């Protein structure tokens, strides 16, 4: 059973401020004592290499800094559609291999994924307006990034991503309204379709 400490941060909402469990699969509830869980505090799961799966609350709005630092077993993480902000270094030091950023997050700030050495694939959903410089700095195994055509990519956003093909960093995610595009798996249209299929298959297996 996961052990959390909560702190009320405003009327009707709270943050998860500490975790003392040792579970491999962690479920964070949507509410605590009638308050919506909207925030994960800095370094919440830092050093918990045993964690392989985390289910985030649907109510979550903010992820703090280095929340998953040292979570080597965490290969994938489903971010809720209502999530609004990611702190600098939010995912630094994690074992993430695949990430999908929902359109409710309007910008990816510097160092959000700094030195995520295992990150291979990132899909940015329609709604994300800007990727700031050094957002993915040092992600040396990052090979595939799908970005909406209207997302602004700052200079040096992918500094140190030595395996990334520049031709694949800015391609269109379809605005089609069919279930495949509006559901959990976006329809992505760009040349490396075999890699996209692999992404979707791996995502289904990991989540």
Digit-coded pLDDT (tens) for 160-201: 998 886 555 544 333 333 333 344 333 333 334 455 555 555
Backbone angles phi, psi at 124, to 5 degrees: -100, 120
What structural domains and CATH numbers belong to the chain?
4-206 (3.80.10.10)
Q: Which residues touch 43 (CB under 8 Å, ≥6 apart)?
A: 64, 65, 66, 67, 69
pLDDT band at 68 (very low <50, low <70, confident <90, very high): very high
Q: What is the pLDDT of residues 127-146, one digit of tens each?
A: 999 999 999 999 999 988 88
What does the pLDDT read at residue 175?
A: 38
pLDDT at 117: 95
- Residue written as token pair 């297996």: 205
């Amino acid at each position: 059973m996961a052990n959390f400490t909560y702190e009320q941060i405003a009327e009707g909402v709270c943050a998860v401020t500490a975790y003392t469990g040792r579970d491999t699969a962690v479920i964070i509830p949507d509410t605590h004592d009638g308050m919506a869980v909207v925030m994960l505090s800095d370094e919440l799961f830092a050093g918990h290499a045993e964690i392989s799966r985390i289910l985030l609350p649907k109510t979550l709005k903010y992820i703090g800094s280095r929340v998953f630092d040292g979570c080597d077993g965490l290969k994938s993480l489903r971010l809720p559609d209502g999530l609004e902000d990611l702190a600098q270094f939010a995912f630094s030091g994690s074992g993430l291999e695949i990430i999908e950023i929902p359109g409710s997050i309007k910008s990816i700030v510097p160092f959000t994924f700094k030195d995520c050495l295992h990150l291979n694939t990132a899909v940015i959903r329609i709604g994300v307006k800007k990727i700031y410089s050094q957002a993915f700095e040092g992600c040396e195994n990052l090979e595939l990034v799908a970005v909406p055509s209207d997302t602004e990519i700052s200079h040096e956003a992918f500094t140190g991503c030595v395996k990334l093909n520049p031709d694949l960093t800015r391609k269109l995610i379809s605005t089609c309204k069919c279930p495949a595009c509006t559901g959990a798996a976006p329809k992505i249209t760009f040349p490396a379709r075999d890699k996209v299929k692999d992404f979707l298959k791996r995502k289904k297996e990991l989540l």
